[in-house]
Structure 1
Amino acid sequence: MSGPVTFEGTVLVGRDFDPVEGRVVVEDGVITAVEETSTGSTDIVAPAFVNAHTHIGDSIAKEAGRGLSLDELVAPPDGLKHRLLREASREETVAAMRRSLEFMAESGTVAHIEFREGDVAGVEAIRDAGEGVPIESVVLGRGSVDAMEHPESDGYGASGARDGDFDTARNATRRAGKLFGIHAGERDADDVNPAMDLDPDFLVHMVHPDPVHLDRLADADVPVVVCPRSNLVTNVGVAPLRELVERTTVALGTDNVMLNSPSMFREMEFASKLTDVTAVDVLRMATVNGAELAGLDCGLVEEGRPAKLLVLDGDSDNLAGVRDPVRAVVRRAGETDLKRVVR
């Protein structure tokens, strides 16, 4: 049996990502120690990413739909995305999804929460796409309740309260003990209260919450997943991250591959530079907050946690001379700075 493995450098420790010079000791896939010591290494060791909201089926149509509105792009049943998915063969869709999963895995994402179009067949397709790819897909089926009840489905991902009656799906999801997420407040505030009336496990987008919705979020402690790049691409605005972070748990997602690359580095930089939340807030959104929302035990560098880590080259041409490693990971680092993804 192989012995422990160590990763040295500036380690971003715990929920506040305190930068500590030292080493992380890993044995049998678990962090057994985080030791503060002089190492001489310029590497940065950080938790790996959890992408809390994806639609990767539309990997078949990257950058399609120039000039179209949000509804024309993605609204069911006849938005451009849905028409293209219907026209594509299963083999084409699975192959395209697999490439997106491989990109996410290679760029530091160890898990993602997928709102999976295509009903039962869609759930089965993404499981086929992910076979052998080192990323955990938390799959929320869409369409019929059967998509949620499929043994390879982790829950139900609703499009939005204005798109139909989801009471049956919500009740079935609750009985099954699975996750229920729903889009809300993306283009306006009208669907926020109906979405919250379903007592969801989390909401997605919340670009347009009214003050009463913010208070309700705080009272109900309902997590929110934000997707700032997607919201700007579709011209609906930017979620008020500071107000949301002050009231509930906020996670970060990249949304449709059709619109954006599923890069958490890009999403973090965008969220940090576009809004007034701190780099620590954003790194939590990209790691532990998404993990906890999905019921996963990762996203932090702590003893006893699974060793899901990123090792970045702090002496790369891009990162050499960095004074604040947390800001560097959030606002500056990219895929080319990655030396290793530890799983």
Structure 2
Amino acid sequence: MTGDGPDPADGGDGQTLLEGTILRGRDFEPVEGRVVVEDGEIAAIEEEPVEGDDIVLPAFVNAHTHIGDSIAKEAGGGLSLEELVAPPDGLKHRLLRQASTEEKIAAMQRSLAFMAEAGTAAHIEFREGDVDGVREIRAAGENVPVESVVLGRGSIDAMEASDGYGASGANDANFDRERAATGRAGKLFGIHAGEVDSSDIDAAMDLDPEFLVHMVHPEPWHLDRLADAATPVVVCPRSNLVTDVGLSPLPDLLERTTVALGTDNVFLNSPSMFREMEFTAKLFDVSATEVLRMATVAGADIAGLNCGLVEPGRSAELLVLDGDSHNLAGTKDVVRAVVRRAGVDDVRMVVR
């Protein structure tokens, strides 16, 4: 449990009580009451009048990150996407090769600590550096309360040492062997697709991945394939804007499949889900409820995690905001305020 606010109430018999306005279930219905937590799980939601202005919601799941490049924040301004991140000689890859193991671990620890303070319970990491890269992020996360779902890259050994395989893109290499091995291991396989143009989307979808990342440039038949296969998509709007590749057709994607939200490369954007939600909600014609779902349960579902919702039986990975902060006082639409207005300064505590 982290945060600067008062401790949650002790309900006796090992219970913890969180009171306030609760954003309940998959539709985030605001209800007044308390969340009863027992042994790290949500045991009950009691709807009744309570004192206080706290807002209780699921902690975030950041569905796509590259936190290894925390070593070089804001490097490479003005470069194209290929110049920035294309393997093997994009700027990030050169910087990663130049950095020591200690430097990379320390930088990732700082990013993970920020994510924890900013209400992120878990993230799905595409980890460069093969097996060594997997070991580095595991070391970075040892004492930080954020769950890293690590998808190794570079070899089948990296996949076996991690939680799955995170492929760069079907135009970069043939990933048939990696996909087959990941499937046999029962692990996650994700792949970038449609970030610069549509040329790699069909080949990526032919791999039958657990999810796709970006999908900025799908053609109509790609949208049909998404719907038929029910393949989830992770979108990263701030990253796509910075790299000038365009923006995903988010309303079209939401009509067809599960869509989650990610912050992508740390050297381009802060790994703040508050910032990603606000940007997404204000840029696209989608509801605040849809955006909050993208930032929580959608990513949890992709990663196979039991968090992302406030409902009995879910893990108690919860975020408590101060609804009486200078920023949030006077809120009329709680979900809209959480998505479009709230920030790290409004976090009272993160419950894990």
* Mapped pair 1:51 → 2:62: yes
The list of structure 1 runs, each at least 4 consecutive aligned residues, that deviate by more than 6 angstroms after superposition, is: none
CA distance in 2, matches of 1:310, 1:326: 13
Q: Paired residue for 2:46?
A: 35
Identity %: 75
CA distance in 1, matches of 2:139, 2:318: 26
Q: Identify the match of residue 81 of structure 1 among 75, 92, 112.
A: 92
Q: Paired residue for 1:333?
A: 342
RMSD: 0.8
* Mapped pair 1:22 → 2:33: yes
CA distance in 1, matches of 2:313, 2:345: 29
* Mapped pair 1:261 → 2:270: yes
1:2, distance to aligned residue in structure 2 (A): 5.6
What does 1:55-70 align with in structure 2 at a 5 Å threshold? Answer: 55-70=66-81
Scaled by the length of structure 1, the TM-score of the pair is 0.99
Q: Paired residue for 1:140?
A: 151
Q: Paired residue for 1:187?
A: 196
1:304, distance to aligned residue in structure 2 (A): 1.4
CA distance in 2, matches of 1:288, 1:294: 10
CA distance in 2, matches of 1:191, 1:41: 51
Identify which range, 159-168 or 301-310, moves more after superposition: 301-310
Q: Identify the match of residue 129 of structure 2 among 99, 111, 118.
A: 118
CA distance in 1, matches of 2:288, 2:322: 19
In structure 1, stretches of 5+ residues that fail to align are none
Query: Helix, strand or coil for the counterpart of 1:162?
Result: coil
CA distance in 2, matches of 1:303, 1:180: 30
Q: Paired residue for 1:315?
A: 324
1:40, distance to aligned residue in structure 2 (A): 2.6
CA distance in 2, matches of 1:340, 1:320: 17
Structure 1 counterpart of 2:88, one-letter code: P
Matched residue pairs, number?
A: 341
* Mapped pair 1:295 → 2:294: no
1:287-343 Cα offsets, whole Å, 9 max, x none, are 000001000000000011111111100000000000011011110000000000000
Q: Paired residue for 2:219?
A: 210
1:207-237 Cα offsets, whole Å, 9 max, x none, are 1111110010000000000000000000001
1:244-297 Cα offsets, whole Å, 9 max, x none, are 000000000000001000000000000100001110100010000000100000
Scaled by the length of structure 2, the TM-score of the pair is 0.96
Structure 2 counterpart of 1:263, one-letter code: S
CA distance in 2, matches of 1:28, 1:200: 34
Q: Identify the match of residue 13 of structure 1 among 15, 18, 24.
A: 24
CA distance in 2, matches of 1:148, 1:30: 30
* Mapped pair 1:199 → 2:208: yes
CA distance in 2, matches of 1:104, 1:122: 19
